[in-house]
Amino acid sequence: MNYKNIYDRLVQNAQNRNLSGYAERHHIVPKCMGGDNTKSNVVHLSAKEHFIAHKLLVRIYPHTKGVWYALIAMGRIVE
């Protein structure tokens, strides 16, 4: 399964819409991988999308501790 492709589509969909209601900020390039707080590196996701984005990042970069820490910090159990 191409997790990077799924992640890219999730981000692209988020960039092309206005999310009404509750939203969470997500760094497209994670801060632990050199991402910053610039507007071009941040998208607004629903809580479910945010969780999915972090699960995808763990699948894409399984040896990057920072993406694991971010997922765990969300208070979820990783399968």
Question: According to the model, what pLDDT value does residue 76 have?
Answer: 57
Which pLDDT tens digit goes with each residue over 27-68? Answer: 999 999 999 999 999 999 999 999 999 999 999 999 999 999
Give the chain's end-to-end CA distance (angstroms, integer). 16
Rounded CA-CA distance 50/52 in Å is 5
How many Cβ atoms from other residues are within 10 Å of residue 39's Cβ? 6
Could you give phi then psi for residue 4, rounded to 5 degrees? -65, -40
Cβ atoms of residues 67 and 27 within 8 Å: no
Tokens of 53: 């984005």
pTM of the model as a whole: 0.90
Question: According to the model, what pLDDT value does residue 79 have?
Answer: 57
Cβ atoms of residues 45 and 11 within 8 Å: no
